[in-house]
């Protein structure tokens, strides 16, 4: 795998606006190398899809980014392919395997997964974990851990 990805362990950011969340996603995308898997975690409405939109913008993708809740997987072409998954409706690893999603975990693109907790057992060791929490003032705390070291 060419390139270097930053060690995100212990990175914590407060985002007060959607724009700040999108900018953070863009910055993370610029650190990604082919094969990066990003696990997005947080409650409904926390900002996972906004972060995903930022990642897409960082990869030069200009089309609308929406959560693929019903299609499960949306593929975009940018400087690298982006596979955006929403596993909210997936019941477990076996259900995920039947979608063909495992192939994208080991692709040459970026695999960004909302609600990835359901497939924890098969996520690659080098997965970047992004946990978004909603604060009392409605800002978001974004904890980022993991990363690829090449």
61-107: pLDDT as tens digits: 999 898 776 678 889 999 999 999 999 888 889 988 888 888 888 88
Report the pLDDT averaged over residues 128-133.
Answer: 95
| Sheet of 128-134, strands arranged across | 11-15, 140-145, 128-134, 37-41, 110-114, 81-86, 73-77
**pLDDT number for residue 9:** 63
Domain range summary for the chain, segments of one domain joined by +? 11-145
Cα→Cα distances 103→16, 84, 100, 131, Å: 35, 13, 6, 24
**pLDDT number for residue 3:** 41
Q: Using CA atoms, how far apart are residues 70 and 66, in angstroms rounded to an integer?
A: 11
CB atoms within 10 A of CB 96: 21
**pLDDT number for residue 98:** 85
Report the pLDDT averaged over residues 113-131.
Answer: 92
pLDDT band (50, 70, 90) for residue 128: very high
Instruction: Assign 128 to helix, strand or coil.
Output: strand
Q: Using CA atoms, how far apart are residues 92 and 97, in angstroms rounded to an integer?
A: 9
Instruction: Assign 94 to helix, strand or coil.
Output: helix
Report the pLDDT averaged over residues 39-59.
Answer: 95
Tokens of residue 66, six digits? 């929406």
For 11-145, give the CATH class.
alpha beta
Q: Report if pTM > 0.85.
A: yes
């Amino acid at each position: 795998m060419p390139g270097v990805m930053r060690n995100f362990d212990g990175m914590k950011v407060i985002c007060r606006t959607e724009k700040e969340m999108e900018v953070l996603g863009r910055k993370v995308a610029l650190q990604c190398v082919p094969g990066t898997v990003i696990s997005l975690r947080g409650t409904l409405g926390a900002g996972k899809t906004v972060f995903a939109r930022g990642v897409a913008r960082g990869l030069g993708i200009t089309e609308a980014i929406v959560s693929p809740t019903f299609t499960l997987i949306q593929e975009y072409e940018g400087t690298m392919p982006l596979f955006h998954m929403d596993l909210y409706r997936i019941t477990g690893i076996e259900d995920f395997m039947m979608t063909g999603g495992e192939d994208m975990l080991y692709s040459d693109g970026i695999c960004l997964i909302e609600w990835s907790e359901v497939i924890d057992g098969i996520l690659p060791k080098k997965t970047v974990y992004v946990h978004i929490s909603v604060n009392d003032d409605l800002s978001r705390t974004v904890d980022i851990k993991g990363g690829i070291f090449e």
